[in-house]
Structure 1
Amino acid sequence: MRTALLWKSTLAATIAATLGGCTVGPDFAPPASPSATAYRSAQDGQQPVVAGTPQITQGAGPALRWWTAFGSAELDSLVDRAIAHNASLEASNATLAAAREQLAAARGKQLPQVDANARVEHEQVNLAAFGLEPNPALGLSGNPEFDLYSIGGGVSFDLDPFGGQRRQVEQSAAEAQAQLHRTEAAHLSVAGRVVTQVLTIAALRAQIDTANALLAEDRRNIDLTSKRKEAGEGTLVEVLNAQSQFENDRGDIPQLDQQLAEARHMLATLTGISPAELGATDFDLESLTLPQTIPVAIPSRLVHKRPDILQAEADLHAATAAVGVATARLYPDVTLGGTVSQGALGPEDLLSGSTRGFDLFAGLTAPIFHGGTLKANKRAAADRARAAAATYRQTVLDAFRQVADLLQAVDSDARSVRNQREAVAVAGRSLHLSRRSYEVGNSGILQTLDSERQYQSARSNLVRARSRQFLNIARLYVATAGGWTGAADD
């Protein structure tokens, strides 16, 4: 009696769910936009704007081809080449295509499933199994053998009364969306890495030029001390000090050359070629434009623009849909279908109406006892959804922190460049006076070398400060540039 009642209740619930188009599990709601209107607070120690500092304008954020702000056609060409030929992007695009096909496969399961079959058999009948004996008079001298031909087909349709398949399609769609945003992030990352390598090459070439200029000064010092010694006004110690300084300074250049080669090799890899195929990369900081206006997306726009945040949101959507998939498996499922078949002893009789057979069916599958597996799977899916929600919140916070750090860096870099320019000017005047003093015999070579050290140190610091300024601006563009919309159109 209880069993009959259970089956009646199950059948009633299934019919009601089927007619009502029930979809179990939580419906996904996109996270609310952040209430923050700025990335930094007044307590961040923001300084007055320095002349020449790039101006930050908050709004929609940078344009798609943000790297054109650096004013280099060769840089633009390298980024375009990387977008077209980078192997990692090719893999990401292929993974995106696979995710979209998985979505198509999930949608296909919602439609009636139609199959055809054909079969040819050679059979032998065991007469003894039917209580018969071989009878030559009847033509049964042994177990008879014959060929059997059959064709047929069938159709089945899952009513999906509790929306398990619908949630599965929703999950697959969200997973494909997450992969799209991963691909967008990969495009943005590759573009950023190409720009970074170009800026690194320009910075290293500037450092090498500074180092070579230092060697030229060292040679001048050697020439001065040698002439003073020959004139009887200097000593061998002064000459040796100058030569020692030259040798020490010359030892720094091979390391800079190595770093430059590595930057070129990385640039070649990013653009999809071998290092040997990379042509000249004559970038220098003077030929690049320092953007004077940097558009930055406001926080409420950034969460709908930056690909890692959009990916985290899509992952949350997929995890939420997975709860519905796991919930639907706790309820019955109904399948409708039918088959038709034709069988004959010879191919010529295969389409005869007398050999046709068919059946129609309705099937009900209901979980009764699975040792708690289904309920545990549902709880696990809910836990994963909570984890995805926490990951989304952390991704947003990390993005805001990164933008805040870079905004602070842009301000700090401008002040550093200004300070280093002043340091170079002061050190240059000091070196000029020291050298004149040495030439007229009022000071020794050590004072001149010390002034030279300070001047070259100031020049090197200025190169590093300018390089850091370019690099941090590029990083700020990447942090707020959003997705690569071209990936969505592939």
Structure 2
Amino acid sequence: MNPAMNVPRWGALAAALAVCVGCAVGPDYQRPATPTPAQFTRQAPAATVSSASGASQQWASSETIAQTWWQVFGSDALNQRVQRALAHSPDIEAATAALRQAQENVAAQRASFFPSAQVSYSPSRQRDAVGTLSPALTSNATYYTLHTAQLNISYAPDVFGLNRRTVESLQAQADNQRYQLEAARLTLAANVVNAAIQEASLRAQIEATRTVIDAQTHALAILHDQARLGYASGLDVAAQESALAQARQALPALEKQLEQNRDLLAVLCGDTPDQAGMPEFDLEHLTLPVTLPQTLPSQLVTQRPDVRAAEENVHDASAQVGVALANRLPQFTLSGSYGGSSTSFTRMFSDDNVFWSLAGSISQTVFDFGALKHKQRAAEAALQQAAAQYRGVVLVAFQNVADTLYAIDSDARALAAADDAEKAAGRTLELTQKQQQLGYVNALALINAQQAYQQARISRVQAQAARLGDTAALIQALGGGWQGSTGTN
């Protein structure tokens, strides 16, 4: 056969390989379909009610979430705490390292697109068995030092996209880690904000409890004086002593919660509990934002980092289907070597001492009891699983936003009612104290008025803190301002 007749065939084969290199088997990724409701809630109020302790809050579609979203609460101390937490948290450090690891894995896999080359040099001292074998050297020397240097080049053409799908899978994993890092930052900032609000709430409740204790102590002193003058009975004194003891009993529990909350805040900031200290938080220095961000459900899937992380899991699973399919197709390998060998180091690459080789191989699994086929089916099932999990994460995200919207509206109404209850209880207590001093009511009426005022004041503090906390929860549910730090949507 004329060798020239094979040239068109080799050319056609090369062209076919070039075409195949441009394609990758398996599904091209597409974002799974998810429910897209028109709004988050069944009924969305335009604004919340206002009260003495909190202004009305309104939703504005043009309101964007800043990267430093916690600044909407107007507290420099809170800003410092959040920034310290983001800079020193071990969780953020670990998530950052995981992202770097994933990115390096992508870079390592990308190297497979190019040929790999290895250089070797191997000197050896030898003696031939001249009594049995002929000398190995043309010089017939028995003792000699052999110097061998060699360059090996190998390349696996990505004919069916095995390497491209592998890179795609690793890139999806890296993106997943990036979104997890942003989710960790968002969660950490929200936890610091909530801990600061909780501290402020506990301080206000402690202050209210101490005020009631002082008032009841003063009332007890008055009863003792009245008892000596015969205007109060021993039963009245005993009842007031019992009420005072109950008020004092509530104080240590609140102080314990405060100290534990301060420990939590210290650890969130990367400090040990013994370093918990200034600044201290109180409700008067936390501003309730009157304008809240509003977004569409269809936009939420691009705003929440946990949703984007779940989507990258789907992308990874989709690429793995391509990897499994490519593993069932032929694998191509090209290799070549060039080197020299000589008893003299300087003559290794003389014409007579040079060697080289070119080789190519094609391998195809023809029988494996269905192992590769079942691996492909497993990858396809994993893709279905990841898509279902992604839809579940999206639904939970919708639920989080809806829950916080209902909570904010309910919090505003609860705070307004708590304000009214505290005012009414305060007036009742003031009138009861005056009447008790004049002898018109007994000690039990005063005790009841004191307890009602104490509970009303604490309820108002708790409602005020809940409104601040649910505002932070809404911002977190909407994804925070993480897009500004990553530059992607």
> What TM-score, normalized to structure 2?
0.90
For 1:482 and 1:327, the matched residues in 2 are separated by: 39
For 1:452 and 1:276, the matched residues in 2 are separated by: 37
Whether contact under 8 Å (2:202, 2:258) holds in the other structure is: yes
Unpaired stretches in structure 2, ≥5 consecutive residues: 1-11
Deviation at 1:240, TM superposition (A): 2.5
Report 1:174-193 matches (<5 A). 174-193=172-191
Counterpart pick for 2:119 among 105, 116, 119: 116
Q: Which residue of 1 aligns with 2:3?
A: none
Aligned letter for 1:26? Answer: P
Whether contact under 8 Å (1:38, 1:298) holds in the other structure is: yes
Q: Which residue of 2 aligns with 1:95?
A: 98
Deviations 1:281-323 (A, max 9, x none): 3211111101111113221211111101111111111110110
For 1:484 and 1:414, the matched residues in 2 are separated by: 28
Deviation at 1:475, TM superposition (A): 0.8
Deviation at 1:48, TM superposition (A): 8.0
Deviation at 1:237, TM superposition (A): 2.7
Whether contact under 8 Å (1:307, 1:483) holds in the other structure is: no
Q: Which residue of 2 aligns with 1:16?
A: 16
Aligned letter for 2:49? Answer: V
Secondary structure at the counterpart of residue 288 of structure 2: coil
Q: Which residue of 1 aligns with 2:305?
A: 307
Against the structure 1 CA distance between its residues 17 and 380, is the aligned structure 2 distance closer, same or farther, given a 3 Å change threshold? farther
Deviation at 1:33, TM superposition (A): 6.9
Deviation at 1:139, TM superposition (A): 9.1
Whether contact under 8 Å (1:60, 1:298) holds in the other structure is: no
For 2:40 and 2:62, the matched residues in 1 are separated by: 13
For 2:382 and 2:190, the matched residues in 1 are separated by: 32
Against the structure 1 CA distance between its residues 41 and 184, is the aligned structure 2 distance closer, same or farther, given a 3 Å change threshold? same
Structure 1 residue 369 corresponds to structure 2 residue 367: yes
Q: Which residue of 1 aligns with 2:49?
A: 50
Aligned letter for 2:29? Answer: F
Q: Which residue of 1 aligns with 2:73?
A: 70
Q: Which residue of 2 aligns with 1:7?
A: none
Report 1:144-183 matches (<5 A). 144-183=142-181
Aligned letter for 2:407? Answer: A
Deviation at 1:482, TM superposition (A): 4.0
Unpaired stretches in structure 1, ≥5 consecutive residues: 1-11
For 1:68 and 1:307, the matched residues in 2 are separated by: 20
Deviation at 1:59, TM superposition (A): 5.0
Q: Which residue of 2 aligns with 1:429?
A: 427
For 2:298 and 2:331, the matched residues in 1 are separated by: 43
Q: Which residue of 2 aligns with 1:79?
A: 82
Against the structure 1 CA distance between its residues 15 and 24, is the aligned structure 2 distance closer, same or farther, given a 3 Å change threshold? farther
Deviation at 1:121, TM superposition (A): 2.5
Against the structure 1 CA distance between its residues 170 and 60, is the aligned structure 2 distance closer, same or farther, given a 3 Å change threshold? farther
CA-based RMSD of the aligned residues comes to 2.4
Report 1:227-306 matches (<5 A). 227-306=225-304
Against the structure 1 CA distance between its residues 348 and 438, is the aligned structure 2 distance closer, same or farther, given a 3 Å change threshold? same
Deviation at 1:329, TM superposition (A): 0.4
Whether contact under 8 Å (1:61, 1:298) holds in the other structure is: no
Aligned letter for 2:171? Answer: A
Secondary structure at the counterpart of residue 294 of structure 2: strand
Whether contact under 8 Å (1:14, 1:333) holds in the other structure is: no
Deviation at 1:127, TM superposition (A): 4.8
Aligned letter for 2:193? Answer: V
Counterpart pick for 1:202 among 200, 203, 221: 200
Whether contact under 8 Å (2:69, 2:481) holds in the other structure is: no
Whether contact under 8 Å (2:68, 2:481) holds in the other structure is: no
Aligned letter for 1:354? Answer: D
Whether contact under 8 Å (1:14, 1:332) holds in the other structure is: no
For 1:201 and 1:254, the matched residues in 2 are separated by: 15
For 1:14 and 1:397, the matched residues in 2 are separated by: 50
Secondary structure at the counterpart of residue 297 of structure 1: coil
For 1:458 and 1:355, the matched residues in 2 are separated by: 99
Q: Which residue of 2 aligns with 1:224?
A: 222
> What TM-score, normalized to structure 1?
0.90
Secondary structure at the counterpart of residue 336 of structure 1: strand
> Which sits farther off after the overlay, 240-249 or 79-88?
240-249
Aligned letter for 1:274? Answer: T
Aligned letter for 1:272? Answer: G
Q: Which residue of 2 aligns with 1:440?
A: 438
Whether contact under 8 Å (1:24, 1:163) holds in the other structure is: yes
Q: Which residue of 1 aligns with 2:9?
A: none
For 1:326 and 1:465, the matched residues in 2 are separated by: 56
For 1:23 and 1:482, the matched residues in 2 are separated by: 37
> Which sits farther off after the overlay, 51-60 or 436-445?
51-60
Deviation at 1:172, TM superposition (A): 1.0
Secondary structure at the counterpart of residue 93 of structure 1: helix
Q: Which residue of 2 aligns with 1:38?
A: 39
Secondary structure at the counterpart of residue 341 of structure 1: strand
> Which sits farther off after the overlay, 229-238 or 334-343?
229-238
Against the structure 1 CA distance between its residues 323 and 476, is the aligned structure 2 distance closer, same or farther, given a 3 Å change threshold? same
Aligned letter for 2:384? Answer: R
Secondary structure at the counterpart of residue 113 of structure 2: coil
Q: Which residue of 2 aligns with 1:5?
A: none
Deviation at 1:119, TM superposition (A): 1.4
Whether contact under 8 Å (2:321, 2:376) holds in the other structure is: yes
Aligned pairs, number: 469
For 1:439 and 1:97, the matched residues in 2 are separated by: 73
Aligned letter for 1:224? Answer: I
Q: Which residue of 2 aligns with 1:9?
A: none
